[in-house]
Amino acid sequence: MAGEIKCNNCGLDNKPGAILCEVCSEPLEVTVGASVPIIASSSAAHTPASAVGIIGRACGLVVGGNVIDREFELPKDDFGFTIGRTDLDQGIIPDVDLTKFAEKVKIGQDVGYTVSRKQAIIIRRMGRLYLRAIGGAKTMIKPQNTDWKELLKDQEEEILVGSRFRFGGSEGYVIFEVV
């Protein structure tokens, strides 16, 4: 029948629309794409994602003012990811691990790190990408053609091609640029 999806694991023909096999529960190989959500809102009209600037695909590591490497891919779907420092004791393994860039610093009587375990999150919402600070350590962002500014905890800023962000303090930091 048209549209049935054969399971590569058990061979069952699954119904159109299925994502997991009805019998063996294995993921089915389906054509995947992004659809346009239906928005019902009582607020101002929604601006389509296509109307706002160019969304980046990856973040490059910046050294000496130049992008030297494609460090990590930006999310292509609505599954955002965390940026921070690994702490296995607390079960924290960020999607973008900055442990190698984190340095110990003295904060008053205590010892802290220049990168939080959960420093920031990149999320995709309504087709746009945002960087949100979620940790205590400093997160700086430089949207294209503007100055650096600090993102305070729970503040977020849209990121486009050319946006740069910096994690860490003056003792040690890392900069990424959206490419």
Partner 1 sequence: MQVELTLGQRYLPITDEAEVIFLLRLLRDSQKQSADLALDLRKILDRSGSMDEPADGGLTRIQALKAAVNESLSLLRQGKDRLCIVVFDDTMKVILDPTIVGDINAIKKLIDGVRTGGSTNLSNPLRYTLEDVKPMDGSLPKIIIFTDGNVNAPSAAAEERACLELARQANRLGIPFAVFGTGIDYNEKFLKNMAEVAGHGSYFEHVKQVGAMRLRLEDEMENLKSVQDLDVRIGITAEPVVEILEAFKYVPQQLALPVSGKIVKDEFPGLDVRGQAYLIKTKVHAGKAVGDFKIATIALSWQGVAGAGVKSMNVVVNFTADEKLISPVDKTVRNTVLNTEGTKATLSGQYNRAQTLFTTSGNTGMAKKVETLAKSDEDAKRTLRTVTVTEANKGIIGKKGAK
Query: Applying CB under 8 A, which residues contact partner 1?
Result: 1-3, 14-20, 25, 27, 30-35, 37-44, 75-82, 88-91, 93-95, 118, 121, 123-126, 132, 134, 154
Minimum Å gap between C-beta 34 and partner 1 is: 6
Of the two residues 93 and 179, which places its CB atom closer to partner 1 in the complex? 93
Minimum Å gap between C-beta 10 and partner 1 is: 15
Of the two residues 126 and 160, which places its CB atom closer to partner 1 in the complex? 126
Residues 6+ apart with CB under 8 A from 36: none
Of the two residues 71 and 95, which places its CB atom closer to partner 1 in the complex? 95
Of the two residues 17 and 108, which places its CB atom closer to partner 1 in the complex? 17
Q: Taking every pair of C-alpha atoms in the chain, what is the biggest distance, in angstroms?
A: 71
Minimum Å gap between C-beta 137 and partner 1 is: 14
Reported in sequence order, the residue ranges of 56-163 that DSSP labels E, i.e. its strands, are 58-63, 66-73, 81-84, 96-97, 104-107, 110-113, 120-125, 128-133, 139-142, 149-151, 156-158
Q: What is the dihedral of CA 153, 159, 164, 170, to 10 degrees?
A: 0
Nearest 5°: CA angle at 132, between 38 and 160? 70
Minimum Å gap between C-beta 40 and partner 1 is: 4
Of the two residues 112 and 162, which places its CB atom closer to partner 1 in the complex? 112
The encoded tokens of residue 113 equal 């790190």
Minimum Å gap between C-beta 91 and partner 1 is: 4
